[in-house]
Amino acid sequence: MESILEIKDLGKNFGGFTALSGVNLAIRQGERLGLIGPNGSGKTTLINCISGALRNDHGQIQFKGESISHLPAHTRTKRGIARSFQLPRPFRSMTVAENLMVPLAYVGGVSGSKARKQALEILAEMGLADKADTSSASLSQVELRKMELARAMAAKPQLLISDEAMAGLSGSEVDDVLDILIKLNKSGITIIMIEHIMHAVMRFSERLVCLDAGQIICDGDPQTVVANPQVHRAYLGD
């Protein structure tokens, strides 16, 4: 199977603190990968290094066979990597549709009525069509999470990284967001999902990776990973 993303011996330090070290990870085209690990284990730092929000200090990141480690975030977005943020960052003064028209213009070069049409199509996929002309500042938590995913989709990614998109949502809202992510994956998008809600992680993931203290401690099929004693000690709490 062809890898869309290949991470080799990745390291990231903050001053004297090692946030990631020796991370090796290959993700195949079309995969649904779950990323778990305790708070502070380096999950967000890893996706920051992949998306370009941070530069890695060691190692290599290849996307579609080309090294991207040296590229700024906006160039990586144009190459096909999009992410949602753990803390949503909407343009609060804009409507929901306008929030999507920013990446549509920037990444796809579409504007005006064409961009609006595409924004409405993406919003419809997220079940947010009726919110298109609502101010993003007035959205509920689940609507905001969906808009974050919609904004990421407006960049037309091949790899989508979701960072705790379900945090703070109710059970049915979690299922709703999960269904959207699975639908996007079935349309051909490779997805990395960081999540703490284990039933969602288990329903979503074809493969599960557990980070602890900046290193991958287990990588494999989800049932095997959650049964692993090291994963239990580090994360699942016994």
- As measured in angstroms, the least distance from the Cβ of 37 to ligand ADP is 5
Residue 42 in the binding site for ligand ADP (CB under 6 A)? yes
Closest CA to 34 of 219, 236, 229, 228: 219
Q: In this chain, which of 1, 16, 39, 187 binds ligand ADP, going by CB under 6 A?
A: 39
Helix/strand/coil percentages in the chain, nearest 5: 40, 25, 30
Residue 56 in the binding site for ligand ADP (CB under 6 A)? no
- Choose from ligand ADP, Mg ion, none: what does 41 bind? Cβ within 5-8 Å by kind: ligand ADP
Give the number of residues in contact with ligand ADP, rule: CB under 6 A: 10
Residue given tokens 């999470």 in the structure block: 145
**b/e map of 41-78 (b: 16 or more CB within 10 Å)?**
bbbbbbbbbbbbebebebbebbbbeeebbebeeeebbe
- As measured in angstroms, the least distance from the Cβ of 194 to ligand ADP is 7
Residue given tokens 């993303």 in the structure block: 5
Residue 14 in the binding site for ligand ADP (CB under 6 A)? yes
Phi, psi of 14 (to 5 degrees): -115, 105
| Region of 43-51, 99-107, 123-131, 204-212 interacting with Mg ion (CB under 5 A) | 43-51
Query: By the criterion CB under 6 A, which residues form the site for ligand ADP?
Result: 14, 19, 37, 39-45
